[in-house]
Amino acid sequence: MPLKEDLSVKQIKPNIDGGKAAANNKLTLVEQVQFLYVKIVRASNLPVNKVSGTCDPFLELKIENYKGVTKCFQNTTNPVWNQVFAFTISRLQGRTLEILVRDKALLNDEIIGLISFGIGDVPIRLPWDSPLAPQWYRLEDRNGYLSGGDLMLAIWIGNQADDAFSIAWHSDAANVRGECVANTRKKVYYSPRLWYVRVKVIEAQDLISSDRTRKPKVYVKATLGNVVLRTKVSSTKGANPSWNEEMMFVAGEPFEDILVLNLEDRIGDNKEECLGRYMIPLHKLDKRLLPVAPGDKWVNLERIVMVGDDKKEVKFASKLHLTAFLDGVYHVFDEPAHYSSDLKATSPELKPGVIGVLELGILKAEGLVPMKFMDGNETADAYCVAKYGSKWARTSTSVGTLAPKWNEQYKWEVYDPCTVITVGVFDNCNLQGGEGTRDSVIGKVRIRLSTLETDKIYAHSYPLLALRPNGLKRMGELHLVVRFSCISMVNLLHTYTQPLLPRTQYLSPLSVYQLNNLRHQAAYLICSRLSRADPPLRKEVVEYMLDTKARMWSMRRGKVNVERVMACLSVFVAVWNWFDGVRQWKNSATTVSIWLLFILLIIFPEAILPKCFFCLAFIGVRNYWKRPKHPPTIDTKLSHIEDASRDDLDEEFDTFHLQSQAKLLE
């Protein structure tokens, strides 16, 4: 049954200043949220336990309904914490902040000193101010007398544009403990710069086989990281085989892997012998920064010989003729081509100029579907990830709510307007410790920059849709504010006259099979690099944002592609129907007008081109005024999501089907 819910994009009116604030205000597209920041630096001369003579201090920050705790130090009276705490002022019930110094070595973590602050007396720090300098405070007991020891801290009121926001412990994550707190903070990640590694194997000379009575059947096996590619067996049998075949890999900076070329002799069906090896680190390869390609060269091969149980490398006179370099004149795809957020070449020499700035405000989400069951309640721990170009922005995690509010703003440089920004919403499943837990996918929104007017603020709520085995499901809605600011309208219009991809990609195009294989390598490489960050951007998140399963064919996707082709051809059908209507006098006024125009063009043939350009201009102006006012979202009718049959869904979610297609592509 078709989905009855309204899946359109709706305009919203958030409480934002829309860029009317000062130029150095970092929050122009989101609502400003006030936080009470407390930076605990260090303590000195804390009193020790009279019995044990030691002190295991830690701090407890309390404001009525919220409590934050620092880490505990063992056996020291001069601990250094350097921790920042942030309390959302709108959710605070009390007006007094108490900072308690406790000793873990004492019974019931007894208090050895405290400091109190009235929230109304805390200074307000503006975003353009320098960080507030911490100062020393004397510790007191419950009766207001000095208890001994000093505490260095800084306390101020700021918003989410504060430098301390991303490293602070937030009161909204009060139920998260230990190292899992790091998984709730906002972070920015960058994908590695990707290069194509091109290896063209031409020929070899003077290969020596262990069996001199037979002619070796040699092929070349190239290994880079976990990717292994092979050439065909040389048609030239003997000691001087030739191939003239090219293999391509994807590598990312900084280069960590070594390119290994093995010349293998196929002795039997399941047995090979290595006749030579050539190894070179990637950072030693030449870089192709301009369309002119590096030349070929001869290299010496090494051979590994078994002497007993030991391996011994033997150098001999065998050589390999090849061309190997890092190709930077192509764009390395890591996303589907029709949803790409970056189209420029890898080479910095071919990098285009910046044409504008993209600003994204992630406000909130509403009506999220419960993703977990905690403490008797259905809830979700949602966060957003936005990707444009090589920059990934991850918001903080809103813990334990189905209506999270983030109000975070991010900015990207734009090199081409024909690109897409992707914003995904996920449920954080790594707040209770443990390894191997995958974050759950909630939904995704894509916005094409070419559909945005320059310097206009778009504030809309986008439906979050997910295709499940039982059909299309609405997962909630995401509120976003987007603005594309143009630096120069002339440069912007000039980009529309240029090809989308680097020119070399059209002069020497890669095959569809190569592009799919290389995109799979690029996605794997980005997953492995971003998963090593702290906190990591997990593999399932990166794969969903890069849409790694988009290359998988299904019957539903086949129907969509056929209908798109038919929609393009329908223009010619419509023109023919119109012409046939004129020819058969279905509308007399239209037919007479066309005949008069035809006679005028015969009498005045010099007016043909001006009238054609006038008609095109008229059509363009008419379409401009009829353009959609909201950024487009997914078309559920065109994509056949609403009317997908049970067989189509079973095919699309068949794990064996997906694995078999992935193996064919690899």
Q: pLDDT of 579-597, one tens digit each?
A: 888 888 888 888 898 888 8
Looking at every residue in the chain, the average pLDDT score rounds to 86
- At 21 the pLDDT is 47
- How does strand 80-88 pair with strand 169-170? parallel
- Best-predicted range by mean pLDDT among 57-66, 326-335, 636-645? 326-335
Domain 34-174 carries which CATH code? 2.60.40.150
CATH pick for 194-327 out of 2.60.40.150, 3.40.50.720, 1.10.150.120, 3.40.50.2300: 2.60.40.150
* 317 close to 379: Cβ distance less than 8 angstroms: no
Average pLDDT over residues 179-208: 90
Q: Indicate whether 449 pLDDT > 60.
A: yes
Nearest residue to 273 via CA among 242, 246, 247, 303: 303
Q: How far is CA 57 from CA 74, 169, 176, 479, in A?
A: 7, 19, 21, 44
- How does strand 391-394 pair with strand 187-190? antiparallel
Q: Report phi then psi at 548, rounded to 5.
A: -65, -20
Q: pLDDT of 520-563, one tens digit each?
A: 999 999 999 999 998 899 999 999 999 887 666 778 888 888 88
- At 312 the pLDDT is 62
Angle at 90 between CA 87 and CA 93, to 5 degrees: 80
- At 1 the pLDDT is 42
Where does the pLDDT of residue 466 fall: very low under 50, low under 70, confident under 90, or very high at 90 and above? confident
Helix (H) or strand (E) holding 219: strand 218-224
- At 448 the pLDDT is 93
Average pLDDT over residues 351-377: 89
Nearest residue to 113 via CA among 44, 35, 65, 180: 44
- Looking at per-residue pLDDT, the higher value among 53 and 35 belongs to 35
Where does the pLDDT of residue 112 fall: very low under 50, low under 70, confident under 90, or very high at 90 and above? confident
CATH superfamily of 348-546: C2 domain (2.60.40.150)
Least confident of 209-223, 302-316, 472-486: 302-316
Q: List 470's β-bridge partners, or say none.
A: none
281 vs 298: CA distance, rounded Å: 17
Average pLDDT over residues 323-339: 93
Q: From edge to edge, which strands make up the β-sheet containing 440-448?
A: 187-190, 391-394, 382-388, 420-427, 440-448
- At 131 the pLDDT is 85
- At 568 the pLDDT is 86
Q: pLDDT of 262-275, one tens digit each?
A: 999 888 777 888 88
Least confident of 178-182, 361-365, 412-416, 530-534: 178-182
Whether 194-327 and 34-174 are alike in CATH topology: the answer is yes
Q: Indicate whether 366 pLDDT > 90.
A: yes
Ranges of each domain in the chain = 34-174, 194-327, 348-546
Quick check: bond before 535 cis, omega within 30? yes
Q: pLDDT of 119-132, one tens digit each?
A: 888 999 877 778 88
288 vs 330: CA distance, rounded Å: 10
- At 104 the pLDDT is 84
Where does the pLDDT of residue 662 fall: very low under 50, low under 70, confident under 90, or very high at 90 and above? very low
Determine how many CB atoms are found less than 10 A away from the CB of residue 357.
14
Least confident of 33-42, 143-152, 159-168, 579-588: 143-152
- At 355 the pLDDT is 94
631 vs 296: CA distance, rounded Å: 50
Q: Indicate whether 305 pLDDT > 70.
A: no
- At 434 the pLDDT is 62
Q: Indicate whether 252 pLDDT > 90.
A: yes
- DSSP state string for 176-199: --GGGGGGGS-EEEEPPPEEEEEE
